[in-house]
Amino acid sequence: MTTESVEVGGVVNAEPSTTAATTAVNETVVLHDGGDGAMGERILDVRDFSVDYGWGENAVRAVDSVDLHLDRSKVLGIAGESGSGKSTLVYGITRLLRAPGVITGGEARFNLGPNDDGRGERVIDLVNANERELRAIRWSSISIVLQSALSALNPVIRVGTQFEQVLKSHRKDMGKVERRARATELLAMVGLSEDRLNRFPHELSGGQRQRIMIALALALDPQLVIMDEPTTALDVVTQREIISELFELRKRFGFAMIFITHDLSLLVELADEIVVMYAGVLMERASALELYEAPRHPYTLGLLNSFPPMHGERKVLSGIPGSPPDLKNLPGGCTFHPRCPYAMPRCSIETPPLVDIGGTGRSVACWLQVNDPDVAVPVELSRSYPRPVATDVVEETS
Ligand code: SF4
């Protein structure tokens, strides 16, 4: 591991061989052509994206032919249990995957916005970008907040120095006084006072460290911030505070966000759109409210029944029986069938494709949802959205 990548910690630069954090990026880099087709409001467009761990006959498919997209200033939630491939997917897209992870197919186009002359867009294909191109956009255009702030921040360097290093590396035009002022401003944005700059990470609470991670991620005004379970290790009160602050910041600065969590009820409150992953595959995609009010996939329903809602009525939590499958030994047909209470004979033989339903951009991979007249869809998986408005019956009095 290079000394440089160690020094600044892990807001974005989780890959030992990369030195994005400490490499000057003010140089002009001609970005890899992202291919044909204007992206417009779309900031990220991922198609047919696959990741394996290992090579040859020992390879295990961790992400399988995933399609997803994200528009500017929007929040995409990625939900699923541990091992479902959520983190592998985003580390693959951002090219932060560690060996033996290998991208085995697909594309991930990132839209940096209009060209300087206002004509056309600067689009980079992240899958084919070289290290120099990646360095030019990491942190300044795409940043990541990792799960554990304690392991991501450098334990032997004061917080202020870690801000100093990031700004010095990426903002050559800033002097020392400006860098200190910017670090103070960033801390204030996440509710921390300037004196925290003089502390070491171990002198701060878990919530304070995670706030510092978020402040570091925002240091260069990125267009896309990826949050990989940023509040999982925190108590619920601190989690709530940080989430609220985060969304205030997003409203204020307008960055797009990908938020990864296993807690689907949390995502419902935060995201515009949600994708649900299981065994490396997208099982369902829908707007957050639609997914919450009218789930179509039994796995989504199981996740919703596994966490208490943030608001509203209390309900009995039922969870999902069994455990996620071993990726080296996936069940045939629908990979969820050994745990699915609605499994039919067909489910263990044929793999359901992800198909669009309803024409509103939502899709699902389940044999229950293919309009087969011989299959009765259970009421809990066929609710309408939006819910029909109840009409008052006015009794006539004569
Ligand atoms: Fe369950 Fe079958 Fe649908 Fe898979 S395809 S989720 S096993 S009903």
- Return the domain boundaries, the chain: 3-262, 296-381
Mean pLDDT of 192-207: 93
**Model pTM?**
0.86
Return the higher-pLDDT residue of 277 and 40: 277
Burial degree of 286 (CB within 10 A; 0-12, 13-18, 19+): buried
Instruction: Give, for ligand 1, the residue of 282, 283, 284, 347 to mutate: max count of ligand atoms closer than 8 Å to Cβ.
Output: 347
Check whether 354 has a pLDDT greater than 70.
Answer: yes
CATH topology of domain 3-262: Rossmann fold (3.40.50)
**Cβ–ligand 1 contact at 347 (below 6 Å):** yes
d(CA 50, CA 47): 9
Q: What is the token pair recorded at 377?
A: 């869809």
Task: Kindly report the number of other CB atoms within 10 A of residue 348's CB atom.
Answer: 14
Please state the atom number of ligand 1 nearest to the C-alpha of residue 346: 2
Q: Which atom of ligand 1 is nearest to the CA of 352?
A: 5
Of 18-27, 191-200, 341-350, least confident by mean pLDDT is 18-27
Per DSSP, the three-state class of 166 is helix
Nearest one of 151, 154, 229, 163 to 190, comparing CA atoms: 163
CA of 348 from ligand 1 middle (Å) equals 9
Q: Mean pLDDT highest for which of 90-94, 120-124, 317-321?
A: 90-94
Question: 206-244, pLDDT tens digit by residue?
Answer: 889 989 999 999 999 999 999 998 887 777 788 888 888
Share of the chain above pLDDT 70, in %: 84
Whose C-alpha lies nearest to ligand 1, atom 8? Answer: 343
